[in-house]
Structure 1
Amino acid sequence: MNLRVLTYNIHKGFSFNNRQFILHEIREGLRSTDVDLVFIQEIHGEQLRHQGKIGQWPLETQFEFLADSVWPHYAYGKNAIYNHGHHGNAILSKYPIKQSRNIILSRLKRASRGLLHGIIELPGYKKDLHVICVHLELFRFEQRRQLEVIRQHILEFIGDNEPLVLAGDFNDWRGRSARFLGRALGLVEAHHQRYGAHAFTYPAFWPVLKVDRIYFRGIELSDAGCLTGNPWDTLSDHSPLYAEFRI
């Protein structure tokens, strides 16, 4: 079977300059991709302040709103908690999520950095697919510590022969995470394998930084790319990455 995945930092449903609430447009964009799995960073689980002021704010959570009827299975990891709500990472799936676990990577209470690990049951496939959605800090010394947490988690909970997709916002424009994850865990980055370089994903309207990634092992890459142009350059501050695998 073919498996299509996409990772996207949605900037909490707001445009790059925070002037427009564009979660509805993001949902339409995601639907048009027809992917099987969506890895989302910076998504609200609750935001009471905006909920009372923005007319288009959905009644359900943002991840339920995006999932709708297209991705009936989802998991959410609450990472940043404050008086009026919380946000974090989410995984949306067309296939059942057997279990999920969230680990907060940040040492600061209001930071939104975390690791959301889900186990996906694929039809007609004997092995479980492990999927991890991450969002790392900007600062290098914190990134090193967070990458080590990711390494230890994968070594402890995912077997060497089990298929894995690790995707998200790594805030890594220098490629250090790729070198570390390649050496430590045998992970390969999809866009780099397909084109020989990581994708420019930030800012979406004029991408000059390579901060988002889709890493994998135990499955075969058939395609990868970055979604640019209309409508993606006017939605979030990040461009989405996608990859297609043969399972």
Structure 2
Amino acid sequence: MKTGHGTTGLRRPPRASTDLPADDGVARLRVATYNIHKGVRGVGPRKRLEIHNLGLGVKALDADLVFLQEVRLFHHRDARRFDRTWFGWPEQGQAEFLAPEGYEAAYRTNAVTRDGEHGNALLSRWPLGEVEHHDVSDHRFEQRGLLHVVVHWQGQAVHCIVAHFGLVHASRIRQAQRLGAYIAAEVPPAAPVLVAGDFNDWGERLDPALVASGLVRAAPPGTPRSPVTFPSRMPLFALDRMYTRGLRCLSMTVPRGPAWARMSDHLPLVAELGLA
């Protein structure tokens, strides 16, 4: 049962003031990216299950595509612990559990740990095509990967890549280069590309490496930067981003408030995109 336990105020994020008019004839793809922190918050005895509230949050985003990071298929220790709580640990993997009715879900594992694993997921209102996973781990202490899914939207095959880059700047540069090489090898040159996720780029130094791969950072019209999303209680950093090829950003917003701050250490980033 996808029911929350105390989270309120999860309304659909409003249109930003910089939006183009909705009646301008532009086909709009509403996209969100969200690091869900494995569906739990806190540590020790204060650790709490948030996956049920996250289900309400994802539904409230009302996005055509939801790019998710730190998603679990299973975790034995947390499942035992939270199975005794009121709502319990979901029987499904988190990607399928979070997918609103009518959505398709794609998931691939990035990291395997002693009690479970986690990875990236894409939830889509639109039909999914091929699903691929590409390992971009840079060293043995961090397992990282790209989830590549073809989404069929408005007669277009949009190549969607869910990314979660490493904690070390040099690793992120190499991962950006591997992303570019992967796109060059696996994506047709004229196809629209959307890369979204948690880039962990605290110092705002990653854009040149991604631009070299033919990608442009999506940002609200008239501004060069993405809105800040981390940490969720007092956002200071734009770690969560979208990069595009063949698409343009029509609007971008970040849902805020106590309910969103509670569910993960990141806030979701929401954008409306159109074909370039």
Identity %: 35
- Which position in structure 2 is the counterpart of 1:61? 93
Map 1:1-247; keep pairs closer than 5 Å: 1-15=27-41, 19-55=47-83, 56-71=88-103, 73-108=104-139, 111-122=142-153, 124-125=154-155, 127-182=156-211, 184-191=212-219, 193-247=221-275
Contact kept in structure 1, 2:215 and 2:245, CA below 8 Å: yes
Calculate the TM-score normalised by the size of structure 2: 0.83
Contact kept in structure 2, 1:80 and 1:110, CA below 8 Å: no
Residues 109 and 185 (structure 1), Cα distance of their counterparts in 2 relative to 1, 3 Å cut? closer
Q: Structure 1 residues 138-147 or 172-181, which shifts more?
A: 172-181
- One-letter amino acid of the counterpart of residue 205, structure 1: R
* Runs of 5+ consecutive residues of structure 1 not aligned to the other structure: none
Residues 192 and 16 (structure 1), Cα distance of their counterparts in 2 relative to 1, 3 Å cut? farther
Residues 16 and 198 (structure 1), Cα distance of their counterparts in 2 relative to 1, 3 Å cut? farther
RMSD, matched Cα: 1.8
Deviation at 1:187, TM superposition (A): 1.8
Deviation at 1:52, TM superposition (A): 1.6
Distance 2:60 2:196 in 1: 20
Deviation at 1:47, TM superposition (A): 0.7
Deviations 1:180-205 (A, max 9, x none): 212x1332222265533232111100
Calculate the TM-score normalised by the size of structure 1: 0.92
Distance 1:103 1:146 in 2: 11
Distance 1:110 1:50 in 2: 22
Residues 16 and 50 (structure 1), Cα distance of their counterparts in 2 relative to 1, 3 Å cut? closer
* Runs of 5+ consecutive residues of structure 2 not aligned to the other structure: 1-26
Contact kept in structure 1, 2:129 and 2:150, CA below 8 Å: yes
- One-letter amino acid of the counterpart of residue 181, structure 1: L
Deviation at 1:35, TM superposition (A): 0.3
Residues 54 and 167 (structure 1), Cα distance of their counterparts in 2 relative to 1, 3 Å cut? same
SS in 2 for 1:100: strand
SS in 1 for 2:171: helix
- One-letter amino acid of the counterpart of residue 173, structure 1: W
Q: Structure 1 residues 164-173 or 106-115, which shifts more?
A: 106-115
Bigger CA radius of gyration: 2
- One-letter amino acid of the counterpart of residue 12, structure 1: K
Distance 1:92 1:194 in 2: 29
Deviation at 1:147, TM superposition (A): 1.0
- One-letter amino acid of the counterpart of residue 98, structure 1: G
Contact kept in structure 1, 2:252 and 2:271, CA below 8 Å: yes
Distance 1:219 1:103 in 2: 23
SS in 2 for 1:176: coil
